[in-house]
Structure formats: C-alpha cells, structure tokens
Chains A and B, each alone.
Chain A
Amino acid sequence: MMQIFKSIPENMEANLYLPSMGTITQTHNLTKKEKWFEIQMPETHSFSYNPGQFVEVSLFGVGEAPISITSAMKNPGLFEMTIRDVGVLTEKIHALNSGDLIGIRGPFGNGFDLKKFKGKDVLIVAGGIGLVPIRSLIHTILNDRKSYGRLIILYGTKSSQDLLYKSELDQWETHPGIEFQMTVDQPSPDWHGIVGVITTLIPSVTLDLENTVAAIVGPPVMYKFVLLSLLTKGLSDENIYLSLERRMKCGVGKCGHCQINHSLVCQDGPVYHYPELKKLQEALK
C-alpha cells in the first residue's frame, strides 16, 4: 500500500468541525411545523453558495444537523433556511428569534450546476418539504430570468396546511415568467385546486423534450413515480437532476453516514445527474 502520510499539509483547516457563529436576522412561521430563518454570517467569514447546497446547523449542547439553503445567493454572508420541527434540535431552533446566535458550518455539497440549466426550459418538480432546497434554484433563475427558457414549477403537498411560502406561491401563480401548478393529496373542504399526488400534474404539461431540464426534490417515496412519469413523457435521463436527502453528519466526507454505494452525498451530492444516480443501486429504493 502506498504510504501517503508525511506531515500536516500547510493549507489544512484548523478544525473542520468547528462552526462559525451566524446571527438570525429575520424569522417567519410558514406552517405549524416549518419556520423560515434568515442568517447573517460574520463579515470575517467568507460565505457564498450555489443553489442546492446545505449547511450544518448547530446549537451548542443540543447538536448539529444538515439543513438545506432555501435562498438564492445575493449578498455574501446572507442566506435563508426553512426548518421542519422533527426532533430535539429542530424544536430548539424553532424557539430562536432575531438576534439569536446559531452555529453554521459550510456550505457543503455540490448544488445545481447552473451551466446545465442556462438557455433551457426548466421543469421543477417539488414534493412536500422538497420545495425548500429547490426554492434556492427557483430564486436563482428568477434573479437572472433572461438566461433561462420556460420555468415550469410543479408542487405537491399532503394537505393545504402543508403548503410552504404561501404568499410566494400566490405570486408564482400570476407571474408571467412562471408556469406554476400545485396539487394537494388530502384536500380540506376549503381547497379548490387540483387534488392528487404530484404525478397528477405531469401528463398535462407540454414539454419541448429536447430543450427541457428537470430538477426533482421530494421525499424518498416520490422519486420513482416522478421519474417514471417524466420518462414516459419522453424526457431523457440526460436531462434529469435529483437532490437526495441522507444523514450528512460531518459534511466533509469523513463520518460515513451519508454514503450511498461508493458515493458520499455530502461530497458528490446532494444533487445528482440521473444517469450517475442510476449506477447507485441504493439511491432510489
């Protein structure tokens, strides 16, 4: 075995696991379970990101978890995240408000490769909380609208109470640059929109198959069905990107938790080109 150990490389980070402290500048409750946060990183900390990347969020004494960035990069050091309350850490984060400090490491992961989307029609398929990471791509496209073709957004949730960013959804419905459709699987009596799972929306969308790139984010169970629907429609593997959720514990390719076959999601993902993802048997179970 080749010996690669010699001495400590000069450019090595002092401690990969030590967070920087961000300050919460705004918060907003989106639903009963989801809360939106805007975070300002200190000026001394260079922080810029791509849509689709994630950060490791810490509360000291509680723990750390990977959280998607939900905003488009505008001012360095400023970003947004939307957090679902699912456990001890996220419950404590929900209790924080403007002015509170929060530990941040990252950004980590690859994010969406915008070169592959520019000049193309973009089809976005978001299921449930999958809208959170993909909103970073939607906003990136809206901020540079001329560089892209059509922007088609399909969004599905379990119930109308689960809909995120409601005021934004209203804007998307009337935005001349967005073709937006949403569906709800278990409608309440006051719901007048489309009913059904996310794939309900796909057959009626007309696509320029040669010139459309799709980005899909949602719960694990959704991918198979959305893929089948899109492939049936005639979209090729080459034009499909997916973002996956795994347990990215360290974010730096060391701890092993996010591994899918030979791929570490925190390094090679969370965004995967579908032809690459097909080679990972464990990716879409």
Chain B
Amino acid sequence: MKQIFPLTFMTHNDIPHWISHLQKIENVIAPHKNGINSFSFGKVSDPKCVILNYDRTLSSIKKYFLPPKETLFSFSTDGKETTSSKVEPINAIFLGVHNYDLEAVFRLDHNFLSGHAESQYLTRRQGALFIGVSYTPDEWHFSNSVLKDGEPNHSGGFDLFLHEIEDGYLLETLTESGQNLMKGFPLPEFDGDIPKQQSFNAHIDGGFEKVTDVFSRAWDSPVWESYAEKCVGCGTCNLVCPTCFCFNVEDEVDLDLKTGNRIRTQDGCMLRSFSEVAGGEIFRNQKAARMRHRLYRKFKYISQETGESWCVGCGRCSAYCTAGISIVDIVNDLIHDSNREIGA
C-alpha cells in the first residue's frame, strides 16, 4: 500500500511518554505482563508497565467487544418489567495489537453485523482505535498460512502501526484518526524503508489454498479420530480463540427472588453439552465430531461464503491446549492424509 503519511521514529524511552500523551486523549488498553510468562490486555494506568514486545496474550481484545459474561437485560420475575442493559461504546485506544487479533475483530464484525445486527456488540465496538505492533513469530504463530495479509508487520486496518527495529520503533501512520492521535507529540521523520518481515516457524503446507481444497473432502478422514483420542474435551481452544463467538444464555435471579438478569456467557462447541436439546439428545456426541465441527467453522463454513479463513493463525489454541494438540498439525495431517488417498 502506498504511504500517505511520513514514517517517524520513536526510541524505547519515548514510549511511556507517548502512552501518557495518548491517555490524555482516550483510555489506552495495552498488553501487560501477567504472571511469569503470560500477557494480557488491560487498561493502562502506569505507561511503564506496558509490554510491546510479547508473543501472545492469553485472551484477545475480543473480550472488550464480546465480554465473557454480560447482562442482556434485567427483569422482574413476574414478567411485568424488563429493562435492556445500558451498553456504552468502548471509546478506547487499543495499543500493541498484533495483526491477527485485529483481523479477528473484523471477523467478529462480520458475525455480529450480518443478518440480524446485534446492538450490544455494535454499540460497544464504537470508538475503538487500533495501534498495531510487529512481532517475532514463535513456534505457534502461522498467520501467513491462513491470512491474505498475515505477515507480522502487516499494518492494514490499523490507525497507527509500530515496527520494531533495533533501537526503537518506526511509527507508520495509516489513517486520519491515527494522525490526530499524534498531534502534540512531534517525532523525527525516518528516511528509510519499513524493516523486512520476520519469518514464521509453523506453516500449513500449501497455505490457505490447500486448506480450502482439503476441507472439501476431509469429512471422513481418520485424522479426526486420531486427534480426538488425545483431546480431553475441555474447550480451552474455544475459550482462547479470537474468532470464537458462540454463547449460552441463562437467567440469574437476585436473592430477593423478585428480580434478576438474563445473561450470556461464552460457550464452546468442543463441550459435549453444546448441541444438547431438551430431552437429552446430543447431536455431536463424539469428540471427533466436535473437533471436526470446530475446524470446519474455522476453515470452511464461513470461509466458503467470504473467501477468508476464520482462523487467523494466532496459535493460541495450540499454545494453550491442555492435551498438547496443535491445530497446524491437525490440518497438515489432513493434507497428508488426503494426498495419500489421491495417490499424490
């Protein structure tokens, strides 16, 4: 993409000052260290605590647009009064977002905007600005295998983007909103090119084109059962996935038994009860069938309509899998299995 704003340069020392500047404009949400080797997005109070050089956060920024638990409305149990919960726009600057997590937000937009547009999601989504940061792929990232622009330094869709270089960051300005964020924080222009992208360690053999091909005939593959044997069915993969959005709806009654809330909570298709209907019938009773459904949702069902992978290659489901299953391994095995079948 042709650059319309000049590249500027920021030192490591500039970063906390710059975050303080951004905080004067809007709340800033950024990655923080959480535990020994874990990161999570949170509202910035001390700019010095922000970590821009991280591998991945446990949860993506999805949690701000689709909270793990939220009240849909409040009620009186006699049904005479119902009140929709007030939802406010997020109005925040998301700083230090990796390319795949913004791609995931665009996919959630699709899910909640197409068909019946949902006011809760769309209201919350208002006023979000995104500042990306490049990253060094670890053993689990594989975004360029599935995304059209999956490189760690791909800045499309962001308002501002930080490219890490040896002694600081190059700041790429991509939108007018991004340019406005930099007013009052002058930086020296950088005369040079954006650094070359870092290469990935994990790959799907043949990329998304091959994935599309294989998922058109992977339904009866023995690969599902071979991975289902290892899977413990805990649903962690659903929980950490930035594009999983399925939810359950339940009522919570207050202690007076007169009022309560209808709430929604995040749900996961890997859990056995997910497809259960009244009377006890479970339509995907086998783990292999649930695993197949999850992967078909990422690689085929929505993808055949949109032409885009609904897996963004963040590697979370692999990195956090309690049984040590890697989604890249599953897909590659499906590919090799289908190659064997057609004698290639």
What is the chain B residue whose CB lies nearest that of A248?
A: B277
Q: How many residues of B contact A (CB 8 A)?
A: 66
In the complex, which residue of chain A has the Cβ closest to the Cβ of B238? Answer: A256
Interface residues of A in 66-118 (CB under 8 A from B): 84, 86-87, 90, 101-103
How far, in angstroms, from A281 to B293 measured CA to CA in the complex?
11
- Please state if A61 and B283 are interface contacts (CB–CB under 8 Å): no
- Which residues of A sit under 8 angstroms from B247, Cβ to Cβ? 249-250, 254-256
Task: Give the shortest distance, in Å, between A100 (CB) and chain B (any CB).
Answer: 8
User: What per-residue 1/0 map shows which CB atoms of B90-133 lie under 8 Å from chain A?
Assistant: 00000000000001001101111111111110110110000000
Q: Is A228 engaged at the interface, CB distance under 8 Å to the other chain?
A: no
Q: How far is the CA of A282 from the CA of B220 in the complex (A)?
A: 12
User: How far, in angstroms, from A84 to B279 measured CA to CA in the complex?
Assistant: 9
Contacts of B262 on A, CB cut-off 8 Å? 17, 58, 60, 64
- Which of B68-76, B189-197, B320-328 forms part of the interface with chain A? B68-76
Whether A103 and B106, one on each chain, are in contact in the complex, defined by CB atoms closer than 8 angstroms, is: no
B262 to chain A, nearest CB (A): 7
Chain B minimum-CB-distance residue to A62: B251
A13 near B116: Cβ-Cβ < 8 Å: yes
Q: Which of A3-11, A153-161, A168-176 contacts B (4 or more CB under 8 A)?
A: A3-11
Q: Are A256 and B246 in touch, CB under 8 angstroms?
A: yes
B64 at the interface (CB under 8 A from A): no
8 Å CB interface, A1-39 against B = 1-5, 7-9, 12-19, 21
A256 to B273, CA, bound (A): 13
Would A1 and B103 count as touching, CB distance under 8 A? yes
Q: Given known contacts A8-B119, A14-B84, is B110 in contact with A61 (CB within 8 Å)?
A: no
Q: Which residue of B lies closest to A2 (CB)?
A: B106
A7, A63, A281: which contacts B219 (Cβ < 8 A)? A281
Q: Which of A202-218 contact B (CB under 8 A)?
A: none
A285–B260 contact, CB under 8 A?
no
A273 on the B face (CB < 8 A): no
A interface footprint on B287-310 (CB within 8 Å = 1, 0 otherwise): 001000100110011101100100
Q: Are A63 and B119 in contact (CB under 8 A)?
A: no
Contact of A21 among B79, B106, B119, B281 (CB under 8 A): B79
- Cβ of B77 within 8 Å of any chain A Cβ, yes or no, is yes
Determine the residue in chain B with the shortest Cβ distance to A258: B275
How far apart are A26's CB and chain B's nearest CB, in angstroms? 18
A249 to B80, CA, bound (A): 23
A90 touches B278 (CB 8 A): yes
Does A234 lie at the interface of the complex (its beta carbon under 8 Å from any beta carbon of B)? no
Assess whether A230 is interfacial by the CB under 8 Å rule. Answer: no
* A255 nearest CB neighbor, chain B only: B247
Contact of A60 among B76, B120, B245 (CB under 8 A): B76
B269 at the binding interface (Cβ < 8 Å): yes
Residues of chain A with a CB closer than 8 A to B111's CB: 254
CB distance from B261 to the nearest CB of A (A): 10
Instruction: Chain B residues near A281: list those with CB within 8 A.
Output: 219
Q: B122 — which chain A residues lie within 8 A by C-beta?
A: 5, 8-9, 12
Residues of B within 8 A of A84 (CB): 278-279
A18 engages B82 (CB within 8 Å): yes
Contacts known (A3-B106, A18-B82, A262-B300); A8 close to B277, Cβ less than 8 A:
no
Candidate in B116, B148, B253, B296 with the most chain A CB atoms within 10 angstroms: B116
A62 neighbours in B (Cβ, 8 Å): 251
In the assembled complex, how far is the CB of residue A68 from the closest CB belonging to chain B, in whole angstroms? 12
Q: Indicate if the CB atoms of A4 and B110 lie closer than 8 Å.
A: yes
A246 within 8 A of B: yes
Contact among A5, A253, A255 with B125 in the assembled complex (CB-CB below 8 Å): A5
Chain B min CB distance to A181 (Å): 26
Contact A262 B245 (CB under 8 A): no
| A59 interface residue (CB < 8 Å to B) | yes
- Cβ–Cβ contact B106 & A5, under 8 A: yes
Report B's interface with A, CB cutoff 8 A.
Answer: 72-73, 75-80, 82, 84, 103, 106-107, 109-120, 122-123, 125-126, 147-148, 157, 219, 245-251, 253, 257, 260, 262, 264, 267, 269, 274-279, 281, 283-284, 289, 293, 296-297, 300-302, 304-305, 308
- Interface pairs A-B: 8 shortest CB-CB: A256-B246, A262-B301, A60-B75, A61-B77, A5-B109, A252-B116, A101-B79, A15-B84
Residues of A within 8 A of B (CB): 1-5, 7-9, 12-19, 21, 58-65, 84, 86-87, 90, 101-103, 220, 245-247, 249-250, 252-257, 259-262, 267, 281-282, 285
* 15 sample A-B contacts, Cβ–Cβ < 8 Å, listed by A number: A1-B157, A3-B157, A4-B109, A5-B109, A5-B122, A8-B122, A15-B72, A17-B264, A21-B79, A61-B257, A64-B249, A220-B281, A255-B246, A257-B246, A257-B248
